Structure 1
């Protein structure tokens, strides 16, 4: 009996030691990466679907909040529209509508729809089986409410770029697309239950997707370890492992058929993307549609508005690049963006 108690006591002390070690490492890392912490003031990223957090009082721009079934977001109409057609913006897996970019575009005279693809209204609560038919709702609303006729340009970042490419492959109404850090494939859903389902659904059928089950357990363990110990969490190796572990049949089934898109496209991608392998997937997109104009920034990360890491009290997420290279990519890509938009939307 005493021997059993000694063993149990040793096990107890081992668990205590492990717990203290984890706490100590996490505490050290938390203060080590303080420079990457997001400011504590209230932000749209606290709850991207809380419309009250958005600055809708924009000088020279009327902003209407849209809450209609699958169509949820903002309609930004400049007092003096200097262009033809409309631009639609989507954010990424953060759940935002890319509102800051939409605001910048509207201030330059473009009529913009800044839309959510999960969260509010009748959209899925999380990024799982999002219906592409949200674009049908947009087209109907656009027909009745847009102030300017002309081309439709759809812009998306990260998972929003994955959505944009799927929409462009299925909707002939789209004239131009702009992709930031895109995917060439439809991937697994992103939800708190880690449900392995498609991110997208169309005509009540899930789109073929690359399953998280095709990945590498060790990469997943390392990712989870990052959350526990508060060191930079890199999603890129997880996605790389899924791509490497998928058969050619699965890859082709999940590949977004960009060759079905007959319009013009613009892609911005960082070569140091730590979120997912956007550069190699951009090459796949380009392989199947040479109308895509690609701008690669070798030392920039996933999103040009971010630093290398983004920290919250819960986790430290790796995006790649650094403040200087990302800022340079941001400035250069914006110049190209407005140049192409002027070509596509000038009367």
Structure 2
């Protein structure tokens, strides 16, 4: 399918990719803590017949340089823009921290018809990097809504990586330990995904070494099932933190972090989830609800 790309500079930096002739399905694509505008993923979705928008939601001019107190209203504005280009169904596809934002957005904006959460979390975490003030501490929420911080879990600064200095770090145990240390905050930081009517697809690898996304996805699915709104969970035991969709190249090598999985397993998980992803975004996913 032929596609067209449009660079966006206002009201935020981004890219919109659409099929020639347009689409009645619009998808907001939210990358993770890389902060990148995910052009490749937008192209994949556009070739599947959807209009896809990806924005820089931190790290740009006038924005926090880290994921710190990011207004969820920024994504509401992105949906406003998306609806001017594709006036029908709205989906949000988020990866990692982007999945955290996507799930929170669905709870707050009833226009969200579907969420695809890749390597998600079931709870809200503290900031990753500095806020608009340039400071990383004290810990603050990753997100705000209507000017108020969303309840969050702080990191346990007593945690130390298992790897030797200079080796790529496995962060999973940091999240696990922090959640145990701050158990009371963790209860308040749960993402109440049962409150949205949006269709939900959860994609998580059992070998995720960044954070325990499969456990998180199972918790999200359980919350949905408890109110009779089943989510679709797609997983594999050997995939890591970075599933890849059909048409995407392998994730880049990192000397800083261990993500788990292999290029083959990560691609296989993305392929296994692809039909459910497309069906949910298009409104054709049948989950029994």
TM-score, normalization: structure 2? 0.86
Aligned to 2:112: 174
What is the CA–CA distance in structure 1 between the aligned matches of 2:136 and 2:60, rounded to whole Å? 20
What is the CA–CA distance in structure 1 between the aligned matches of 2:110 and 2:267, rounded to whole Å? 35
Equivalent residues of 2:27, 2:281 under 8 A apart: no
Please state if 1:322 is matched with 2:257. no
- 1:63 is displaced (CA, Å) by 1.8
Aligned to 1:284: 219
Please state if 1:156 is matched with 2:98. no
Equivalent residues of 1:309, 1:318 under 8 A apart: no
Q: How does 1:100-139 map to 2 (within 5 A)?
A: 100-139=40-79
**Runs (5+) with no aligned partner, structure 1:** 1-58
Please state if 1:61 is matched with 2:12. no
1:178-233 C-alpha deviation (Å, 9 max, x unpaired): 00010111101011554211100111111110011xx261x3x326x65xx32231
What is the CA–CA distance in structure 2 between the aligned matches of 1:157 and 1:309, rounded to whole Å? 15
Q: How does 1:181-330 map to 2 (within 5 A)?
A: 181-191=119-129, 193-195=135-137, 196-212=139-155, 215=156, 217=158, 219=159, 221-222=160-161, 226=164, 229-247=165-183, 249-290=184-225, 291-305=230-244, 310-311=253-254, 315-330=255-270
- 1:286 is displaced (CA, Å) by 1.4
- 1:344 is displaced (CA, Å) by 4.1
Residues 85 and 338 (structure 1 numbering): CA distance in 2 closer, same or farther, change over 3 Å? Answer: closer
Equivalent residues of 1:157, 1:182 under 8 A apart: yes
Equivalent residues of 2:27, 2:91 under 8 A apart: yes
State which of 64, 80, 89 in structure 1 corresponds to 2:29: 89
What is the CA–CA distance in structure 2 between the aligned matches of 1:203 and 1:262, rounded to whole Å? 22
Please state if 1:77 is matched with 2:18. yes
Q: Report SS of the residue matched to 2:217.
A: helix
- 1:343 is displaced (CA, Å) by 4.2
Equivalent residues of 1:240, 1:277 under 8 A apart: yes
- 1:65 is displaced (CA, Å) by 1.9
- 1:168 is displaced (CA, Å) by 0.7
Q: Report SS of the residue matched to 2:152.
A: coil
- 1:95 is displaced (CA, Å) by 0.7
Structure showing greater radius of gyration is 1
- 1:106 is displaced (CA, Å) by 1.0
- Structure number with the higher helix fraction is 1
Q: Report SS of the residue matched to 1:300.
A: coil
1:141-196 C-alpha deviation (Å, 9 max, x unpaired): 234x31x3211000100000000011011111111100001011110101155421
What is the CA–CA distance in structure 2 between the aligned matches of 1:309 and 1:141, rounded to whole Å? 30
- 1:137 is displaced (CA, Å) by 1.8
- 1:60 is displaced (CA, Å) by 3.0
